[in-house]
């Protein structure tokens, strides 16, 4: 399956938008987590956790899934291929890992948000922000971005085989 040039550009635009949006959602989540950690105000901590839950479920999760889907479409529909280059495989693996960790982590965010919604001031004090997961996630998303921009060399054995097959076909057509 090869995408037409106009469809490829459209899918690429959607992919970039979703990927950058996912990074933005994670940055917003980290900022909210920092606010929850640094604040001694019960209302700020409560608001931060509720906002982290909303940001996670309604921005980060949909953008992560859309980024994964559009990345698969691009890799399968262009000459880069899904299994031809190590950077594509690494990018895919890191995207899947980040998405799975996000999906597994969000129920605990919702549970904490539910708890701080009803907690009284004294009980909310130990619920600082959630900084580890989104900080590591942000770092991984930036690595994925760098891989997709710089496209380091390295062709997989499958990629070498496909290149040889394509050269043989082009020589036969001459």
136-165 pLDDT per residue, tens: 999 999 999 999 999 999 999 999 998 898
How long a stretch of residues is the chain? 174
CA distance 53 to 162: 45
CA distance 125 to 2: 55
User: How much is the pTM?
Assistant: 0.91
Give me the number of domains the chain comprises. 1
Q: Which of 90, 96, 26 is nearest to 68 (CA)?
A: 96
pLDDT of residue 2: 87
DSSP state for residue 56 in the 8-state scheme = I
Max alpha carbon distance in the chain (Å)? 80
| Cβ atoms of 106 and 61 closer than 8 Å | yes
pLDDT reading at 124 higher than 80: no
pLDDT of residue 80: 82
Q: Which residues contact 75 (CB under 8 A, 6 or more apart)?
A: 81, 82, 88, 92
Cβ atoms within 10 Å of 164's Cβ, excluding its own: 10
CA distance 21 to 162: 34
| Cβ atoms of 132 and 53 closer than 8 Å | no
Confidence of residue 128 (pLDDT cuts 50, 70, 90): low
Q: Which residues contact 139 (CB under 8 A, 6 or more apart)?
A: none
- Residues of the domain holding 128: 5-173
């Amino acid at each position: 399956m090869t995408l037409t040039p106009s469809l490829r550009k459209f899918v690429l635009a959607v992919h970039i938008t979703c990927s950058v949006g996912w990074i933005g959602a994670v940055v917003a989540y980290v900022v909210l987590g920092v606010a929850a950690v640094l604040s001694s105000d019960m209302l700020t901590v409560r608001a931060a956790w509720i906002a982290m839950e909303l940001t996670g479920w309604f921005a980060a999760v949909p953008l992560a899934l859309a980024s994964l889907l559009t990345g698969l479409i691009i890799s399968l529909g262009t000459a880069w291929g899904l299994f031809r280059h190590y950077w594509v495989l690494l990018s895919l693996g890191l995207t899947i890992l980040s998405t799975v960790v996000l999906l597994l982590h969000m129920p605990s965010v919702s549970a904490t948000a539910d708890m701080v919604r009803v907690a009284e001031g004294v009980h909310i004090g130990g619920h600082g922000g959630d900084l580890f997961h989104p900080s590591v996630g942000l770092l991984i998303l930036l690595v994925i971005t760098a891989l997709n921009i710089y496209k380091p060399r390295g062709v997989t054995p499958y990629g070498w085989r496909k290149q040889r097959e394509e050269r043989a076909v082009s020589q036969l057509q001459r």
